[in-house]
Amino acid sequence: MTTRMIIYSMLGSDYMYEKDLKRIVCLFPDLIEEGLSIEHEEFPIRSGISTYRCDLKGKDKNGNTVFIELKLKADEAVLFQIGKYKTFVQGEGRFMVAAFDFKPDLPPVLSNHGYEYIVIDQKRAALLLEENQYNPDLFNRKLSAVKEFKKGFSSKSVPTHSLYKENERQAISELMNELKEMLKNHLRQQFNITFETFDIRKKDEHRLIFQSPTGAGDKFIIYTRPREMNIIELQFVPDFSLTTGYTTPRKEAFKEYVNKHKNEVLELFGFHELFSKSPKDVLHMGDHLLHTKQAWKALHYRIVSPIEEWNKPDFCEWTAMKFIEFIEILFPFIREFELN
């Protein structure tokens, strides 16, 4: 999965992330096709206990339903994603991959499978993004899963020691509080996941901790820390403990299960590598998947975004949706782990 791409130097930022591409395509759907309208982002396609999230669902100028997977650079992993959509969608539709760039030989493979592919004009997209960076409509998301439960926040936790700058700490505190309010009811109603605590540790580590129904000690966590600036970690931690070196038979069993099913995990999340430690230069890499075999022995989806982006109007909704998708992907996998 490519979540970051170098864009034209005329822009203030050196990089475009997938969320930027989605923002500008939702505002200007004709970047993909004339007459296209976008109705939903992260549209859920369900099969039994599994949920697959299609980036965009819309209508073409003739009223046909269009399912679109957006990529900065598309590779063979997109075949699994778009294939699941076509397999489990109820009813007719067009299935399309839209990207700035495609891996060589991928377009004919997509065509042979009955999927469409669109090359997005990167220069035009970058210019439109620059021209509309202060347009409030750029940040209007179409994420029904989180909008229904969105609430204002009133409380702010304060760390005992601040390692962030004051404006950074305020942005993080506000983001985490709003995420808590946005997610707690939805997670309880949809997954029987209950909010446990908003914990700020002495090193200014911010954690939202949710109790998973998969095991008495299992937690889903949203986590930030100054030591790895510009990263928001979405974690599943079996038998969670505040002592990071603590291990249990369940932790060890989950670690081995992930190792054994590494390719399945990568396919589910659309990545090509499962890191065992934090890679260098993450801003250049973009989002990635990490499986820590020490410390908590957790599985992490790591959202990479410059911290100055965190106070943008749609960033909380976007992060909440990523957390919901993380849970939706992992629940069937955890169930299979329980049965083995």
DSSP string of 185-239, one letter each residue:
HHHHHHH--EEEEEEE-TT--EEEEEE-TT-TT-EEEEEE-GGGTTEEEEEEETT
Tokens 């200014």 locate to 204
Q: Report the pLDDT value the prediction gives residue 164, as an integer from 0 to 100.
A: 66
Q: Report the pLDDT value the prediction gives residue 17, as an integer from 0 to 100.
A: 85
Q: Report the pLDDT value the prediction gives residue 294, as an integer from 0 to 100.
A: 64
Hey, what are 113's tokens? 């499978």
Overall pTM surpassing 0.95 (yes/no): no
Q: Report the pLDDT value the prediction gives residue 159, as an integer from 0 to 100.
A: 42
Q: Report the pLDDT value the prediction gives residue 152, as an integer from 0 to 100.
A: 45
> What Rg value do the Cα atoms of the chain yield, rounded?
20
| Strand blocks (E) in 75-161 | 94-102, 116-119
CA–CA dist 155, 186 (Å, integer): 20
Q: Which residues, given as ranges, of the chain have pLDDT below 70? A: 1-15, 147-164, 244, 293-296
- Are the C-beta atoms of residues 198 and 240 closer than 8 Å to each other? no
Q: Which contacts (CB < 8 Å, 24+ apart) does range 221-229 have?
A: 221/298, 222/176, 222/179, 222/319, 222/323, 224/172, 224/176, 226/163, 226/164, 227/203, 228/278, 228/282, 229/307
CA–CA dist 254, 215 (Å, integer): 12
- Are the C-beta atoms of residues 157 and 170 closer than 8 Å to each other? no
